[in-house]
Amino acid sequence: MNNKFQYDRANINKEKALLIAIKYPESKKDAVEAHLSELARLIDTAGFEPVSAVTVSLKKPKPGYLMGSGKAEEIRFMAEELDAEVLVFDEDLTPAQQRNWERFTRLCVIDRREVILEIFASRAKTREAVLQVALARMEYSLPRLTRAWTHLSRQRGGAKGTRGEGETQLEVDRRITLKKIAHLKKELTGVKAHRDTMRKKRGNIPIPTGAVVGYTNAGKSSLLNALSGSEVYVENKLFATLDPVTKKIVLPEGREVLLTDTVGFIRKLPHDLVDAFKSTLEEAALSDFLIHVVDITSREFRDHMRTTAEVLEELGADQKPVILLFNKIDLCMDDDLIKEVRAEYPEALFFSAKTKEGEELLFSKIVTVLAESEKSELFSIPSDRYDLISMIHRKGRIKKQYYEEDMIKVEADLPVKERNRILKALMRRDGA
């Protein structure tokens, strides 16, 4: 199956890429096509022009080219006809397969993993994210130092043109790369320690925390902007934002909540990249609740939901309270689809980050989720400690409040950490 991709004239100076997908007997046709479409978007995000695609049916992978030599010859001829400069596989290639293809076609050959690495490298902004991407790229490059092309990765470790320079140069390159990997790991250890310290300090602040999770380009950053009034970077591309951004939102009752935007998930996300972005993804594991954002306009939204659930399970965040939120309803022209989704997911909310439709219901749901995780307590607070009463107003939900002599009685629902903070303050006063 061949697919042509139509793009505007802005792509005229981009290098042309031929995309290659593999269909095994157990693969579903729709799933393979969806993966190819997503790969085309990834390639476009990485700065290439996907000009065509081919799907190769295989019973099982072959060691040399992943496929038979006859099919490989067909792909080489197709690449020549299209003037393609890059071959992009929607499968992970072994270092040997990558080298074989490059020698055979005299083109740059990359796989899905390398495409994602390159996008991450171009989007990382914080020091930790930059270091993590560099480490992932170095570890990817180590077994590929003998490749003829260093077209995409200036940080692969080998110098351009190292092919054929002999065993000595290869060993030198390996030693340099291993040293760089060790240095990056050491730097990351220091950065991680600093992050853990900052997170611990933030954890001492009595305010509930939530994490916005979901498939890449589902509209997570737009949601955060809509709720907080901030201007987090938003672009209609995959992995538009990688670094965690935390913003404060104020619920209608005046209560404050911290919401963190996390890196978007994607099918076939390489495990080393899951490890590389633990700093972002840990926000999901450590938060009080999650908002799972789903793009209702995507035909593959159910697959996207499954992918997100799998990554959350891998992170140990699958037991958190989850608010399922279908986003972009302003762009969904299919009323029957919305009715179908409402029936299939009766607990879900529907939202438009553009018009803020559904905002009140989302705020109400957040209040409910927090209340379910909170403990009700009757506090006896001295009348001169209005700071504590103010804290309860901001961080909890007051049920009753009345005066007795020089005390103010407050019955409120509070998260455990805020409740303990207030009780400790009262105990210190009594001790004094």
Provide the residue ranges of all domains of the chain, joining segments of one domain with +.
2-112, 124-200, 206-371, 374-431
Output 133-138 pairs: Cβ under 8 A, ≥24 positions apart: 133/276, 134/184, 135/181, 135/184, 135/185, 135/188, 135/276, 136/270, 136/272, 136/273, 136/276, 138/177, 138/180, 138/181, 138/184
Residues 150-161 have pLDDT tens digits of 444 433 433 333
Return the CATH fold of 374-431: Alpha-Beta Plaits (3.30.70)
Residues of the chain short of pLDDT 70, as ranges, are 1-13, 146-168, 194-206, 231-244, 269-284, 374-375, 416-417, 429-432
2-112 shares its CATH topology with 374-431: no
Domain 206-371 has CATH 3.40.50.300: yes
**What is residue 349's predicted lDDT score, i.e. its pLDDT?**
95
Please calculate the CA angle 124-126-131 and round it to the nearest 5 degrees. Answer: 70
Which residues fall within 8 angstroms of residue 170, CB to CB, at 6 or more apart?
145, 146, 162
Q: Which CATH superfamily is domain 2-112 in?
A: GTPase HflX, N-terminal domain (3.40.50.11060)
Whole-number pLDDT of residue 168: 65
Strand partners, 291: 212, 323
So what's the pLDDT on residue 142? 82
Q: What integer pLDDT is reported at residue 418 of this predicted model?
A: 74
Answer whether 259's CB lies under 8 Å from 249's CB: yes
- pLDDT tens sequence across 55-76: 999 999 999 999 999 999 999 9
CB within 8 Å of 363: residues ≥ 6 apart = 251, 252
- Please report the pLDDT score of residue 162 as a whole number: 37
Q: Is the pTM above the cut of 0.85?
A: no
User: Backbone phi, then psi, for 283, in 5-degree steps?
Assistant: -60, -35
pLDDT value at residue 350:
95
Nearest to 297 by CA among 245, 265, 334: 334
Instruction: Report whether 415 contacts 288 (CB < 8 A).
Output: yes
